[in-house]
Amino acid sequence: MQTKSFDVVIVGAGPAGATAAFFLRQQGLDVALLDKATFPREKTCGDGLTPRAIGVLDEIGILDDLLVEGCKMDEATVFAPNGTPVTTQMPIREDHPPIMLAIPRYKLDNFILQKAVEAGADLCEGINVQDVQIEANGVKVVGRYKGQQMVINGRMGIMAVGASMGLLKRMGILKKTPTLTLAARAYYEGVQDLSGRFEFYFEGIPLPGYGWVFPLSENTANIGAGIFEIRNRKKDNRTAQMVMEQFLNIPKMKHHLAHAKRVGPIKGYPIRTDFATAPTYAQNLMLAGEAAGLVNPLTGEGIDYALESGKIAAQHLGLMFKSGDFSDAQLEQYDQKLRAHFHEQVRFCERIRDWYLHKPIINRLVNVAKKRDQFRELFTDIVLGNVAAKEAMTFKTVSQILLTR
Ligand SMILES: Cc1cc2nc3c(=O)[nH]c(=O)nc-3n(C[C@H](O)[C@H](O)[C@H](O)COP(=O)(O)OP(=O)(O)OC[C@H]3O[C@@H](n4cnc5c(N)ncnc54)[C@H](O)[C@@H]3O)c2cc1C
């Protein structure tokens, strides 16, 4: 058995974990970054990056690489259930570039990870963490590495294990399985007439859910579909793969894919969107990214949330190490920072998802968005988390929606 000790041990080297490691190293803390996978590794995802994600990736110093390797877009088109399209531009904001990018996670996650390693994080790949024991003055992380047990001690730990819930349940942090969104995607070559925009489809998809076409180049794309498991949705047995097959059969998709070839299988994976009720810490431990249920409940995008929460966790830990105060009261402050940063947007998007994803309502919203530039921009801003929903949804905006013919 091998044993090592660090200031912070991070379980999971996806965007949340690797970002936390990068920003912890910026503050001079010793960091162990553990993952069961060996990088580069695939992660089932739509591969879409919002302007907020790009803002953090720029801070980490990899935006130039991503612009070379990824496909840059500054517009998105939404297709209403009746097929009507509306195209919106990325709003210009001070804190991040007005662009979106699509880049396979196989590449993206490795870029972030390499920056964490360059910054001095101690990476251990191929270690399956089986237990994290909370001790009076730290955490003891126990994993299986090359057939042997490995123990890594940390004064503090960060759980950044994504939607993989087994470990959190075994530790008693997650009491039950939250309601999940199910999504599936595949890569295609030879896709014709890609618009050069992110395309979101409510057409041909059982609601609440949506399909997407995210171009990766002029003729390759990540195509997928998701279905939200919401509280009032009747139980059915549809899988994400089934929803995706249905989506691929709508005429617009048949056209896109007339001469296309799928590269690799259709892969599905659950998405956690339960931040509103999820725990974000335990004694000597923080949760970041999707492990804290941090994903936009309306769009299913969680990379920006993972990057931002990884950074917030690292900054807060920096303060804790400076003060030497590792109490639960300090961890409660971390929870409050996360809630202050994400709660309102998550609640707004949850409400839209649960109450408004009905065909006539989406058709109407798309109609209003086509006619009212201001509404279109505002809605894009709110969904992307650029502005606070409460301040933005004024009486005037709501009246516009109701009055537009
Ligand atoms: C089909 C689909 C499409 C999506 N599309 C988008 C999109 O277009 N844009 C977007 O922003 N988001 C999208 N998401 C959501 C996004 O993929 C996640 O929210 C994001 O990856 C969360 O990042 P994370 O760092 O928290 O976790 P992850 O990226 O899941 O990383 C967790 C890491 O922890 C490791 N790990 C887990 N358990 C252990 C263990 N026991 N021991 C050691 N290592 C462990 C895993 O190997 C993994 O590397 C999509 C999700 C799905 C399923």
Tokens 């007339």 belong to 258
Give the least confident one: 100-104, 229-233, 401-405: 229-233
Pocket test for ligand 1, best of 159, 271, 296 (most atoms within 8 A of CB): 271
CATH topology of domain 180-271: D-Amino Acid Oxidase; Chain A, domain 2 (3.30.9)
Distance in angstroms (rounded) separating the CA atoms of residues 107 and 334: 30
Domain ranges for the chain: 2-70+100-176+274-352, 180-271, 357-403
Pocket test for ligand 1, best of 96, 103, 161, 174 (most atoms within 8 A of CB): 161
Q: What percentage of the chain has pLDDT greater than the value 70?
A: 93
Taking CA atoms, 100 is separated from 80, 93, 236, in Å, by 21, 13, 34
Q: Is the CB of 241 under 6 A from ligand 1?
A: no
The mean of the pLDDT values for the chain is 91
Predicted confidence band at 380 (pLDDT cuts at 50, 70, 90)? confident
Pocket test for ligand 1, best of 301, 307, 338, 349 (most atoms within 8 A of CB): 301
Q: Is the CB of 12 under 6 A from ligand 1?
A: yes
Q: Is the CB of 303 under 6 A from ligand 1?
A: yes
Distance in angstroms (rounded) separating the CA atoms of residues 386 and 321: 31
Handedness of CA 363, 75, 242, 357 (dihedral sign): negative
Q: Is pLDDT of 93 > 90? A: no
Take residue 358 and report the two structure tokens written for it: 């009905």
Rounded distance from Cα 83 to ligand 1 centre (Å):
31
Average pLDDT over residues 76-91: 90
- 325 exposed, middle or buried (CB, 10 Å; 0-12, 13-18, 19+)? exposed
Supply the pTM of this predicted model.
0.95
Taking CA atoms, 380 is separated from 10, 316, 403, in Å, by 34, 30, 20
| CATH fourth-level superfamily of 2-70+100-176+274-352 | FAD/NAD(P)-binding domain (3.50.50.60)
Predicted confidence band at 405 (pLDDT cuts at 50, 70, 90)? low
Predicted confidence band at 385 (pLDDT cuts at 50, 70, 90)? confident
* CA-closest residue to ligand 1 atom 50: 45
First to last CA, the chain: 71
For residue 232, what pLDDT is reported? 46
Better-scored residue on pLDDT, 399 or 217: 217
Distance in angstroms (rounded) separating the CA atoms of residues 143 and 152: 8
279-311 per-position pLDDT tens digit: 999 999 999 999 999 999 988 999 999 999 999
Ligand 1 closest atom vs CA 291: 26
* CA-closest residue to ligand 1 atom 15: 302
Ligand 1 closest atom vs CA 17: 25
Distance in angstroms (rounded) separating the CA atoms of residues 126 and 114: 16
257-80-358 Cα angle (round to 5): 125
For residue 382, what pLDDT is reported? 75
For residue 179, what pLDDT is reported? 85
Tally Cβ neighbours within 10 Å of residue 229.
17
Q: Which of 318, 260, 270, 325 is nearest to 293 (CA)?
A: 270
* CA-closest residue to ligand 1 atom 18: 302
Q: Is the CB of 223 under 6 A from ligand 1?
A: no
Q: Is pLDDT of 1 > 50? A: no
Q: Which of 141, 107, 146, 138 is nearest to 32 (CA)?
A: 141
